[in-house]
Amino acid sequence: MTRLSVNINKIATLRNARGGDVPNLIQVALDAQKFGAQGITIHPRPDERHIRYQDAVDLKPVVHTEFNIEGNPQSKFLGLIEKLRPDQVTLVPDADDAITSNAGWDTVKNQAKLKEIIAGCKNIGVRTSIFVAPDLRMIEGAAACGTDRIELYTEAYAHNYVKNREEAVAPYAAAAVHAHQLGLGVNAGHDLSLENIEFFAKNVPHLAEVSIGHALICESLYQGLEVVIKGYLKKLTQ
């Protein structure tokens, strides 16, 4: 079964819009896990415009499933990883001013840098994942870096799903097969939704985990968090 990790960044965005502590990030994380989520994902950025570094500290004791922290591996971020030692760190090459993640790593160009960072994370017992496009060369580069997993950047799939879902998913299926052959675990995320997740999960082999935030939270505004999480779990097991 593909595991579902719920990204709660949007909850922090809503909280920060008014100051104070409503909605309460800790309670949402607890409720998401109670409703069946098999992991909690956060993505702190340098300007802390949604998830704050203190949020990561506060969440650590209450995430009893899998704690996945995403981010650009700058020194402050790596210090947080060393301090908290989450179950998984997902390395994302987003710029400081990026609204959201918009590219995967060039794992060939950045191989020396990534190799050093990954070795450091693995030395403290943290599983590593690299955010990459479904490009076989980049996946081979990721394997050469020593990462445990890749996270396939699925924006292109989501964008092209309505036009031709078979064509949209094909490069991801090929990427997952190749990654598996290289000994890598396969995660995926970005713009996955209740509309497109089932087809993706059925057609991408060896899919260990999906991380979903924006769509899941938006859908939950209409349907309720518990209903939406259970909806994803059902689609991932059919």
Active site residue 190: yes
For the purposes of burial, counting CB atoms within 10 Å of the CB of 21, is it exposed (0-12), middle (13-18) or buried (19 or more)? exposed
Q: What is the spatial distance between Cα 134 and Cα 8, in angstroms, rounded to a whole number?
A: 25
Element (H, E) at 160: helix 155-160
Catalytic residue among 50, 151, 190, 209: 190
DSSP secondary structure string for all residues of 49-107: SSS-HHHHHHHTTT--S-EEEEE---HHHHHHHHHH--SEEEE----TT-SS------T
Active-site position among 50, 66, 70, 219:
70
Catalytic residue among 43, 66, 151, 178: 43
Burial class (CB in 10 A: 0-12, 13-18, 19+), 138: buried
The verdict on whether 214 is a catalytic residue reads no
Contact 67, 86 (CB under 8 A): yes
Is 151 among the residues known to form the active site? no
Which are the catalytic amino acids? 43, 70, 190
